[in-house]
Amino acid sequence: MLYLLLTVICSVLLGFIFKLFSKFGIDSFQAIVFNYVTCVCCGAIHLGHSPLQTANADKPWFPYALMLGFVFISGFTTAAMTVKYFGVTISQIMQKMSILMTVPFAILVYQESSGFGKIMGFILAVAAIILVNWPSGTQNGDNHGLKVRSLIWIPLVTWFLSGIIEVTFVKVQKEGIIDSGDPTFICNVFGTAAIIGLCVATYGWIRGTRIFAWKNVVGGIILGIPNYGSMLFMLLALGNGLEGSFVFAVANVGIIIATTFGAVTLFKEKLSFINWVGIAVAVLAIALISGVLLS
């Protein structure tokens, strides 16, 4: 359970750091790129050597690392956009409702436990996704409400990519493709994302469509440390004998509660009554899926 707690803490920090980017004028994409470079450096310090080696190309997990690298940088970018247009709370809710993909996958493919609670949880989770994304036209003005409606695809893509990431982690852990205690796999995921991001960023710097600034590097370093921790502790929790359907569900409900409390108290985010109902339903859904209420 310690690894679950650490996963929650690191994940909550990510959402709050994203929120601060706009305040300090930090380019989210460039910060995300340097965040992945930082993650690789954290892995090198952890391992005591470079985790990016040509010999890794022969590892059974290498194709998954390459695929996840693309998904990671795409998912982090849409998550940052979700924070910008919808707020920290909605962004975290959408990412954590990825259990709609993860839990069925773990149950159907790897025969993890299922029951009435999980079925009811899925039904409530679908309702929660609709409610937490229901924009209020009067909350910040009718024009803002219309703009948010046109951008509804952003949190939906965030949800989908988060689900792909979690499903892949369940697969490689369940099938023994990776050693959960060895960060080499996630470091190669981060490395792939960093290389892709640096190529895109360099193209922007050359074309003049992006402006390099050291504050983006600093923002990336600050983001990268808890990002590395969130992935490492999540893998350690999975490798501790806990079911994936339990790990992701329990961690996600903790993240939702902590993020909501922090966003409202620290950043004064305004949520509509429908949004609050959606958050409550999301917490109930995840609690049912994890078996917390019916255990």
pLDDT, block means (10 residues), the chain with 295 residues? 88 88 90 96 95 93 95 88 79 78 85 79 78 59 54 86 91 88 92 95 94 96 96 86 74 78 79 84 79 63
Half-sphere exposure of 169 (CA within 13 A, CB side): 33
Residue corresponding to tokens 């995300």: 32
Rounded to two decimals, the pTM is 0.82
**What pLDDT score does 141 carry?**
47
77: nearest Cα among 134, 41, 35, 43: 35
Cβ atoms within 10 Å, residue 43: 25
**What pLDDT score does 149 carry?**
65
268: left (phi > 0), else alpha (psi -120 to 50), else beta?
left
Alpha-carbon distance values, 110 to 69, 120, 176 (Å): 25, 20, 13
**What pLDDT score does 133 carry?**
64
**What pLDDT score does 96 carry?**
74
The tokens for 120 are 């009811």
DSSP state of 137: T
48: left (phi > 0), else alpha (psi -120 to 50), else beta?
left
Q: Cα 166 from chain centroid? A: 9
52: nearest Cα among 182, 43, 60: 43
- Residue 183 phi, psi dihedral angles, 5° rounding: -80, 5
Q: Are 216 and 36 in contact (CB under 8 A)?
A: no
**What pLDDT score does 138 carry?**
45
**What pLDDT score does 294 carry?**
62
Q: Return the H-helix or E-strand segment holding 83.
A: helix 62-86
Our CA dihedral for 131, 135, 140, 143, rounded to 10 degrees, sits at: -170
**What pLDDT score does 290 carry?**
67
Alpha carbons 243 and 117: distance in angstroms, whole number: 16
Alpha carbons 18 and 263: distance in angstroms, whole number: 12
The b/e string for 73-109 (b: 16+ C-beta within 10 A; e otherwise) is bbbbbbbbbbbbbbbbbbbbbbbbbbbbbbbbbbbee
